[in-house]
């Protein structure tokens, strides 16, 4: 797989398709492009006539990382994304989709360079703004527990409820090396969306895909984004069948915004 050096790390990526507009697909915290496919979150699989760029964020999957928690803030991940787009598709406005951490990355990237994005699809938006501090504390506690007890013991004692929309999804382990995982979690604990005022200025056509009954990805964030973003549509998934519809909804969103 090709790699792009960004500072001291290397981003591992692949591109499928040989012609058409570019779509870039991100993933969530502790996941990877391969793991998101296992979870049914490979949302680009229904696209036709597009090039699809998938990559692993720094420290995740096949990409390398460093030991500075600040490297994993969404602002820095946004810089990685923009550097990758400059390398793969310089000057091209792309369609972008990302769940959870990917949503945070996309909002910061669109804030910095809105002209780079023809559309945004913000999937399972995580805690943000007023709901973020509690989740940040969870990340810090989990980072300390992994360092103290080891990853296997931590996973064995994990009690987080599975959202109904993921009832049929396989159980997965973090796609981050055990020694690096506490650093990645502390990075996540020190980051948030851009301010609400800043988000309200992002005019890129946006599709928001959310699921229910997940405190780490509350529907309140999705609804707040729907209210703030000038051009946004929100779709909620309450069962695995809801997620099965997401690739088609994403493909429709890309096709519709591509015609503008």
> What is the Cα–Cα distance from 128 to 103, expressed in whole angstroms?
11
State the CATH number of the domain containing residue 199: 3.40.50.1820
Nearby residues of 59 by Cβ (< 8 Å), 6 or more positions away:
9, 65, 66, 71, 72, 176, 177, 180, 183, 184
In this prediction, what percent of the chain has a pLDDT beyond 70?
A: 99
| Beta-sheet pairing, 94-99 with 206-211 | unpaired
Q: What pLDDT sits at residue 259?
A: 57
- Please check the confidence at residue 260 and state whether its pLDDT lies above 70: no
Per DSSP, the three-state class of 234 is strand
> What's the pLDDT tens digit per position in 5-28?
999 999 999 999 889 999 999 999
> What's the pLDDT tens digit per position in 196-246?
999 999 999 999 999 999 999 999 999 999 999 999 999 999 999 999 999
User: Nearest 5°: phi and psi at 61?
Assistant: 55, -125
Query: How many domains does the chain fold into?
Result: 1
* Domain, as residue range, for 203: 3-258
Instruction: Give the bridge partners for 123, in sequence order.
Output: 99, 209
Give Rg (Cα) of the chain: 17
The pTM for the full model equals: 0.97
């Amino acid at each position: 797989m090709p790699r792009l050096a960004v500072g001291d790390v290397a981003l591992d990526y692949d591109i499928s398709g040989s012609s058409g507009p570019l779509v870039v697909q991100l993933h969530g915290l502790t996941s990877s492009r391969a793991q998101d496919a296992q979870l049914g979150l490979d949302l680009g699989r229904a696209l036709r006539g597009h090039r699809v760029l998938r990559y692993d964020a720094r420290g995740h999957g096949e990409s390398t990382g460093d030991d500075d928690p600040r490297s994993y803030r969404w602002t820095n991940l946004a810089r990685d994304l923009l550097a990758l787009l400059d390398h793969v598709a310089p000057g091209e406005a792309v369609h972008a989709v990302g769940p959870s951490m990917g949503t945070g990355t996309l909002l910061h990237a669109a804030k910095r360079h809105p002209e780079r994005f023809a559309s945004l699809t913000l999937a399972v938006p995580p805690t943000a703004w007023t709901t973020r501090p509690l989740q940040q504390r969870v990340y810090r506690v989990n980072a300390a527990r992994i360092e103290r007890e080891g990853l296997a013991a931590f996973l064995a004692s994990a009690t987080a409820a599975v959202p109904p929309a993921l009832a049929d999804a396989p159980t997965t382990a973090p796609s981050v090396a055990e020694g690096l995982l506490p650093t990645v979690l502390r990075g996540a604990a020190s980051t948030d969306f851009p301010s609400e005022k800043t988000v309200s200025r992002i005019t890129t056509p946006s599709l928001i895909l959310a699921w229910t009954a997940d405190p780490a990805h509350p529907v309140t964030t999705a609804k707040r984004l729907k209210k703030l973003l000038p051009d946004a549509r929100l779709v909620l998934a309450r069962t695995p069948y809801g997620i099965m519809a997401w690739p088609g909804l994403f493909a429709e969103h890309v096709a519709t915004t591509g015609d503008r």
